[in-house]
Structures are given as C-alpha cells and as structure tokens.
Chain A
Amino acid sequence: MSTLQKSALYELVVALLTIIAYAGLALIVDPMVATAAFAITALIALEPVLFRRPRTDERERLLIRRAGVTAGMASYLVVVVACMGVWAARFRAPDPRIDVAVLPQIVMIAAVTLLLVRAVTVLILANRSLEVGG
C-alpha cells in the first residue's frame, strides 16, 4: 500500500469517526450539540506528519486531481441539497424561519463529504486503469 493510499485510508477513518460521533450525539443529545463532533475532523491536520510523502509522481498527482474534482462535486451537491431541503422543510411552516445554527452544520457536513468522497475515490482509483489525459 502506497503512502497516498495510507493517507486516504486515514482520511476515510477520520470521516467515518466524525459521522458516527455526529449521528450518535444527534440521536442521544441534540443535533445542535452534536455539531461538536465535527471537531474530530481536526485530526486531518496530523496527516502530513503521520504520512510523509517523499515524492509525488505524475500518476499520484492525476489520482489526487481526479479525486479532488469528484469530492468537490459531491460536496457542492450536498450543500445545494441541504440548503434546498432546509428551505423546503421550513417554507410552509407556521413560523418559516431558519435557525442560523443550521448553516455551520451544512458547511461541516459538506466538509466531511469532501473528505469521505476524496478518500474513497483515491482508494478506488489507485487500483484502476489510468491514462494521462484520459
């Protein structure tokens, strides 16, 4: 397993831990309190220290670029769907106001989606056929 794959696996574990902690806290305590679970994503900051990549070659750069594009698309989709979902849910409510605390949650869910999709894409593409410009 290459350093790139190990670091993708680490990102995947951090993203899954965050999702599990958020879902658990949201069920037990309160969705707003559960926002604290997103602090787990700070573990990503340790990635350059834990997985030092002495060299990034053209194939790895291609992998990272494609994974970044896929993750960006997924994250953007999550933001749009979440914003529209909240709006749709509140639109016909007797008091159609949206709590400002919803926004950081949407942003953090999008960030975790970015992490998760990027990690999964790197792990999948690492074992697939690739072609420069393909």
Chain B
Amino acid sequence: MTAPPIGNRIRRLRFEHGEMTQQELADRCEVTRQTIIALEAGRYGPSLALAFRIARTFGVPVEDVFDWRGE
C-alpha cells in the first residue's frame, strides 16, 4: 500500500500553537491520537471534513495545512 500523496504541516503547526500535544489536537478534532500520529507520519490521507476540522483548530486555511504531492 502506497502512502497517500498528501503532505501536511501538522507537526509544525502544533509547535507554533503553544506546543500543542497530539492528544490535545486529537481531542479538538474528535479523532484518536493514533490518527494524528498516522497523519503526521504521512500514513493516512484524511477526509475533507477532518482536513477542515484540523485547519479550523489552527485557525488557518486548509491549504496551509495540507498540500498535494501527487503528479
């Protein structure tokens, strides 16, 4: 199984937002910590709804969090 061609800046954004922990972000986005870990490792391509929830948590547009790395 290949990794989804979606990059993200979640780890950097967490640290820019008061060193937010993975658990805090998971709680705010209503997902499990394992999902945040998989997202940061690039092992999971989220749904649009989750992508928007994460972006809203950081108060930035979704394209500032995720970027397309496919062809």
Contact = CB atoms under 8 A, between A and B. Distances in A.
Report the 10 A-B pairs with minimum CB-CB distance, sorted nearest first: A131-B45, A57-B31, A131-B4, A129-B3, A2-B34, A59-B35, A129-B43, A132-B47, A128-B1, A129-B1
Contacts of A60: 32, 34-35
Interface of A: 2, 4, 55, 57-60, 126-132, 134
B4 A134 contact: yes
State the majority secondary structure of interface residues on B: loop
Contacts, number: 54
Interface of B: 1-4, 6, 30-35, 38, 42-47, 49-50
23 contacts: A2-B32, A2-B33, A55-B32, A57-B31, A57-B32, A58-B47, A59-B34, A59-B38, A59-B46, A126-B34, A128-B43, A129-B3, A129-B4, A129-B44, A130-B4, A130-B38, A130-B43, A130-B44, A131-B6, A132-B45, A132-B47, A134-B4, A134-B45
